[in-house]
Amino acid sequence: MATFVDHVTLHLRAGNGGNGCVSVKREKFKPLAGPDGGTGGNGGDIVLVADPGVTTLLGFHRSPHRRSENGGPGMGDHRSGTNADELVLSVPIGTLVKDADGTEIADMTDAGMRVVVAEAGQGGLGNAALANTKRKAPGFALLGTLGFEGDVRLELKVVADVALVGYPSAGKSSLVAALSAAKPKIADYPFTTLHPNLGVVQAGETRYTIADVPGLIEGASEGKGLGLEFLRHVERCTALLHVLDCATLEPGRDPISDLDIILAELAAYPVPDGQIPLLERPQLIALNKIDVPEGRELADFVTPELEARGYRVFEISTVSHEGLKPLSFALAQLVEEGRQALIDAPPKPRLVMRPRAVDEAGFTVRVEGGSGGNIYRVLGTKPERWVQQTDFTNEEAIGFLADRLAKLGVEDQLFKKGAQAGSTVIIGLDNGVVFDWEPTMTSTAELVTAPRGLDPRLLKDGRRTSNQRREEYFERMDAKAEARAELVREKEAGLWREDSTDEE
């Protein structure tokens, strides 16, 4: 059964926003006292928090599907829907968060760091919030928007001050147990350690952590053995300690050849941009198993050559604890120097938040060719959110959407892109809403009165246009003129005459 997991894919679904309410207040002697529909509640966000008490991603490996609650719907009498609580997920310090495409979202390097990885939907406004002096009794409300639904990848990179690297069965786990209170699994066969082990070491006034990285072999940087699985845990360490086996019984192996192979693998492993390459970090060498007579002789033999390469060498025994105290203080010195270097390093550039420019539209119109003619796709946060909030079974709500898009400038951009009445317009990406664009739908919606839930601009009731009314007026005037001319002709023909009154 797995006890340590350092990479997992989470399937997240944040809560949806609650729908707004359409309601009219009714009291005694006031049957229509105005709109009082409440606003829907916001859904719950999904938040990751770096927790020092968590050391593995095992809990997410067993239950990768996580979801937060939806917001409550609005109600009458100005009662808003309940806002859902956020879902907090604790992750180990050193967790790297990526989206489904592998793009880095956050690096959880500090205790208590919080990152919203799945944003919840917003609650829709009720008809009371949509009312104004021109639209006194809205017959519609806005729908709640959908929360984020998708995958997020978590990768754990152990945060330790010193990384112990070396061949399998070199004694790294035994060294962690000897220097700290950790109790890793120890056995006399290769690849005993299947996950990194952490230990806390106290050397004088300095306290630091050491990590036992599972055994590396030749080709580890290319995926052989357990190399690729655990080499990434070396990335965050300040110093490296090479643990070399001086009592190995395998033919063709000795401390010098083991060191060369490990150095080659560390050099071949790429570190992220901005980090110091592994071989440029402080390194010490521990010649282990000098409690064995042959091991002490071999350690004495190879020490001059290693020191000639510029390494500080310590002959140790994890069984008799010989040489461990000088090694722990030497490691503490490297850790303190690394911490001081971080303090003296120039501060990172500050994140500057700049407001959106006043002339920035906030959306784009993209022309896409198709067999039936050009398709005009509108992309932007506001237009796409407004479409989600629209109840397309309510014609008044559709008219409100048209007015919002017109005020945002969408219609002007469509004109500039060459759109005409009847052109296909899509708002959103793959699952966007498709419209047959009618420019006349976007004028003075607030000034139009209509039955509740209806927009007269969308009704096919045969209303006369201005040109039609003008033509009918001229036709009436012409008919009256023709009637007067007919009367004059009849009078001249003697068909009738005006009666004159005799004066008395």
Q: What is the pLDDT of residues 233-291, one digit of tens each?
A: 777 788 899 988 888 777 777 888 888 888 887 887 777 777 788 888 899 999 988 88
147 is in an annotated binding site: no
Cβ atoms of residues 162 and 209 within 8 Å: yes
169 is in an annotated binding site: yes
* Two tokens, residue 53: 């008490």
212 is in an annotated binding site: yes
Q: How many CB atoms lie within 10 A of CB 249?
A: 7
442 is in an annotated binding site: no
Given CATH 4.10.520.10, say whether it is the number of domain 1-156.
Answer: no
61 is in an annotated binding site: no
For 364-458, CATH number?
Answer: 3.30.300.350
Cβ atoms of residues 145 and 388 within 8 Å: yes
Compute the distance between CA of residue 362 and CA of residue 263 in angstroms, rounded to an integer: 52
500 is in an annotated binding site: no
- Note the helical H segments in 157-285: 172-179, 227-230, 255-268
The pLDDT of residue 488 is: 84
Strands of the sheet containing 87-91, edge to edge, are 87-91, 46-50, 114-118
189 is in an annotated binding site: no
170 is in an annotated binding site: yes
291 is in an annotated binding site: yes
Compute the distance between CA of residue 23 and CA of residue 128 in angstroms, rounded to an integer: 8
171 is in an annotated binding site: yes
214 is in an annotated binding site: yes
The pLDDT of residue 53 is: 81
* 315 sits in which H/E element: strand 312-315
Compute the distance between CA of residue 69 and CA of residue 42 in angstroms, rounded to an integer: 9
270 is in an annotated binding site: no
167 is in an annotated binding site: yes
The pLDDT of residue 358 is: 65
**Strands, DSSP E only, in 32-103?**
46-50, 65-67, 87-91, 95-99
318 is in an annotated binding site: yes
The pLDDT of residue 375 is: 85
Q: Could you tell me which of 390, 325, 61 has the C-alpha nearest to residue 178?
A: 325
Compute the distance between CA of residue 133 and CA of residue 163 in angstroms, rounded to an integer: 69
30 is in an annotated binding site: no
Q: How many CB atoms lie within 10 A of CB 424?
A: 17
| Pairing state between β 206-212 and 239-245 | unpaired
Compute the distance between CA of residue 335 and CA of residue 207 in angstroms, rounded to an integer: 9
Q: Where are the domains of the chain?
A: 1-156, 162-344, 364-458, 464-496
Q: Could you tell me which of 235, 241, 216, 227 has the C-alpha nearest to residue 162?
A: 241
Residue ranges of the chain whose pLDDT lies below 50: 1-2, 187-194, 219-228, 441-449, 500-504
225 is in an annotated binding site: no
Given CATH 3.30.70.120, say whether it is the number of domain 162-344.
Answer: no
166 is in an annotated binding site: yes
In sequence order, which residues have a C-beta less than 8 Å from that of residue 34 and are 6 or more positions away? 24, 25, 128, 131, 136, 137
The pLDDT of residue 19 is: 95
74 is in an annotated binding site: no
